A and B are shown apart, each in its own frame.
Chain A
């Protein structure tokens, strides 16, 4: 069985500061990992993914994520947060031979001016 844990329901940061949203996963085999963002009254939007290759993945809006196999983690990061980054963030994992993705319960990011 595959699973995702997002240990923080809420993350609060000041604008301009770096942000980290944590994610750990469990899956059989090499994982496919994803981050999605959900703004109020809008659908889930893809941010970035790790399939293979470089452990540091860069995505949309200046976000990046680091795949750490030994810690089974895929934390989302951004060097300098913007107020407009405030949203609900979901981490997801998929086994390489499956179509099913398992999502975490989400982390609400609030960036204050």
Chain B
């Protein structure tokens, strides 16, 4: 079956612009996670959804970052007024329940110039 799909795979944007990153989780997975990975570091937690609601958004760095999952499936991570420091690989993962292993997509590489 299909895995976690993230689009686009690469995104280059100018400083100050708005971007949206999309994640299609594995069908039937109720939990969805967003992480951010910078070069030479491990994934850094951003937000966790259980169904449609954000169960934990403690990792969002500031109010420029926002994520939604309106129908409990596809999720969109939205970044306003992008900064060069936002450049990273944004990873999405999903799991059947909140407490089992996660299945990761290949990520979206965001570059802010």
Contact = CB atoms under 8 A, between A and B. Distances in A.
A44 B59 contact: no
Interface class of chain A by DSSP: strand
B102 A46 contact: yes
B13 interface: no
B62 interface: no
A104 B42 contact: yes
Contacts of A98: 56
A23 to B, nearest CB: 11
Interface residues of B, number: 29
A99 B31 contact: yes
Interface class of chain B by DSSP: loop
B55 interface: yes
B45 A46 contact: no
A111 B37 CA distance: 25
Interface string B33-62: 101000011111100101000011011000
A36 B106 CA distance: 14
Interface of A: 4, 32, 34, 36, 42-46, 49, 51, 90, 92, 94, 96, 98-106
